[in-house]
DNA sequence: ACCTGAACACCGTTCAAGT
DNA sequence: ACCTGAACACCGTTCAAGT
């Protein structure tokens, strides 16, 4: 059976969703493709790179139409973070995968770029835009990883824990970066 | 050579700092203690638990005197987050270890408890205190992991990247949780 | 171009047995 | 109580060789 890189990546995403990140091994993936483990290295240089590609594929599949560039900046920011959260929660261990890949710079650059793009029209000084974008990603990933950990623990019965409010995501979140208020969800931005 | 659990944990922390999280293996640690890998299971049920103990030991060693309970709540919050950041940055891969352990509920409960404690005196409605505490931890861990990734990449020469501003941590950060402003560094807290 | 087969250098964990 | 020795069931990756 002959495969291409895209087959390997989409099959890997499938394995991730069905068995989890810990079971997404090169050997498991190879077996799933009815191929020897070594054959994977014809399509991908190493596992690290593969995970980056899987994260990007996950994000592409979860992508929804975002507000246009003419929309208010805070709507764009909120839609980007909320969409990101929805995308990573849609796949088993998706939050951990994307957060890891992002931290190591192996992929998942699109959300950062989208945030920078939206923040560029916010009136926030350009020098603070990267910090603000990273702060929003920190919160979004951190929150999503925790949500997913508890959601999955609940369904697997691994951790016995109280129920979880799931709807507080970015609810009225305001970040102030160096004295600049950056409110998400209400479009206010005031200095000092 | 006879060991106790404390010896295993502190040696593990030593291996973490010298060789990194990826090289903190049961076999490596055993070799470091001049013992067979199986001997470790006399002191610790599994690796997961060990990592939790190592994270807690790291936090204990990095602990500094915090403002007392009579101090302003925002000073206490800021000191907790800043101290947490300092502690995890002081050990190689410390941020990743503590963040992971914390996400999986295997340890590192002290910072969360300290934040809840401080926020209890902030005037924030009690029902929002857990969310606020988790939000602050998300930001602190996310920021620290990213700082450390880039710091270590720079010193190892693995990733070539621009220089990094290191002093923007919690600088004027305000979080608004459900309409309640929670400003850190200036002790304001206003509703709506 | 795509894959096999075999090997290398590792993992975490278990368990009977020793002192 | 603390540890050894040996095994089990895995890893990621390389590389010569096949079609």
Which pLDDT tens digit goes with each residue over B85-105? Answer: 999 999 999 999 999 999 889
User: Residue A149: what are its φ and ψ, rounded to 5°?
Assistant: -55, -45
Model pLDDT, residue B83: 93
The mean pLDDT of chain B is 84
Nearest to B143 by CA among B91, B190, B88, B102: B88
Percent of all residues in chain A with a pLDDT value above 90, rounded to a whole number = 54
Residue A172 to residue B176, Cβ atoms within 8 A: yes
DSSP-derived 3-state class of residue B102: helix
> Distance (Å) from CA A38 to C1' C3?
8
- At B130 the pLDDT is 86
Q: Is the CB of A26 under 7 A from strand D?
A: yes
B107 vs B160, residue with greater confidence: B107
Q: Nearest chain B Cα to A105, which residue?
A: B159
Q: Is A113 on the interface with B (CB under 8 A)?
A: no
Q: Is B132 on the interface with A (CB under 8 A)?
A: no
| Residue B136 pLDDT exceeds 50 | yes
pLDDT over 50 (residue B38): yes
- Stronger pLDDT, A29 or B154, i.e. the higher one: A29
Token pair belonging to B53: 């103990």
Judging contacts by C-beta atoms under 8 Å, the chain B residues touching residue A111 are none
- Determine which of A138, A144, A175 to mutate to test the interface with B (most B C-beta atoms within 10 Å): A138
Chain-centre distance of CA B76, in angstroms? 16
**Domain boundaries defined on chain A:** 5-191
Per-residue pLDDT tens over the stretch A76-135: 988 899 899 999 999 999 999 999 999 889 999 999 999 999 999 988 888 878 878 888
- pLDDT bucket at B36, cuts 50 / 70 / 90: very high
For position B184, what pLDDT does the model report? 57
Predicted pLDDT of residue B19: 97
Mark the nucleotides of strand C covered by protein, meaning any atom under 7 Å from a CB.
2-7, 10-16
Q: Which of A64, A61, A3 is nearest to A35 (CA)?
A: A3
Q: For chain A, give me the number of helices (H) and strands (E)?
A: 7, 2
d(CA A27, CA B134): 37
Closest CA in chain B for residue A158: B104
Is the C-beta of residue B1 closer than 7 Å to nucleic acid chain D? Answer: yes
Confidence of residue B1 (pLDDT cuts 50, 70, 90): low
Whole-angstrom distance, CA of residue A114 vs CA of residue A119: 9
* CA–CA dist A88, A81 (Å, integer): 11
pTM over 0.85? The answer is: yes
Q: Does A143 touch chain B (CB under 8 A)?
A: yes
Distance in angstroms: CA B160, C1' D13 = 25
Q: Do A142 and B137 touch (CB under 8 A)?
A: yes
Q: Gap from A37 CA to D13 C1', in Å?
A: 9
CA distances in angstroms from A2 to A5, A7, A29, A171, B96, listed in the order given: 10, 9, 15, 48, 39
Q: Which of the listed CATH numbers 3.90.190.20, 1.10.1040.10, 2.60.40.10, 1.10.357.10 matches domain A5-191?
A: 1.10.357.10
pLDDT band at B192 (very low <50, low <70, confident <90, very high): very low
Check residue B122 and give its pLDDT. Answer: 86
Point out the residue nearest to D2 (C-alpha to C1'): B2
Say if CB B4 and CB B43 are below 8 A apart: yes
Q: What pLDDT shows up at residue A161?
A: 42
Residue whose tokens read 């979140």: A173
Q: How far is the CA of A42 from the C1' of D16 (A)?
A: 15
- Indicate the pLDDT class of residue A153, thresholds 50, 70 and 90: confident
Highest-scoring range by mean pLDDT, A66-75, B12-21, B67-76, B150-159: B12-21
| Bases of strand D lying below 7 A from some protein CB | 2-7, 10-16
- Chain A environment of B138 (Cβ under 8 Å): 138-139, 141-143, 146
Mean pLDDT (chain A) is: 84
Q: What are phi and psi of A28, to 5 degrees?
A: -65, -45
Residue B25 CA, nucleotide C11 C1', distance (Å): 8
Quick one: how many helices (H) and strands (E) in chain B?
Answer: 7, 2
């Amino acid at each position: 059976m002959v495969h291409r890189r895209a087959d390997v990546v989409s099959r890997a995403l499938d394995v991730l969703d069905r068995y989890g990140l810990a079971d997404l091994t090169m050997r498991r993936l190879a077996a799933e493709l009815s191929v020897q483990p070594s054959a994977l290295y014809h399509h991908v240089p190493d596992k690290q790179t593969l995970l980056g590609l899987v994260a990007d594929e996950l994000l592409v599949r979860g992508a929804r139409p975002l507000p246009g560039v003419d929309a208010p900046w805070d709507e764009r920011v909120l839609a980007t973070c909320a969409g990101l959260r929805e995308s990573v929660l849609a796949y088993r261990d998706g939050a951990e995968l994307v957060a890891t890949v992002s931290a190591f710079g192996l992929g998942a650059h699109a959300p950062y770029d989208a945030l920078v793009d939206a923040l560029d029209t916010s009136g926030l000084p350009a020098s603070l835009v990267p910090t603000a974008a990273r702060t929003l990603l920190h919160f979004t990933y951190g929150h999503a990883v925790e949500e997913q950990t508890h959601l999955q623990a609940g369904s697997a019965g691994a951790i016995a824990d109280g129920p979880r409010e799931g709807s507080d995501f970015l609810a009225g979140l305001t970040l102030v970066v160096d004295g600049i208020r950056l409110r998400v969800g209400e479009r206010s931005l005031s200095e000092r």
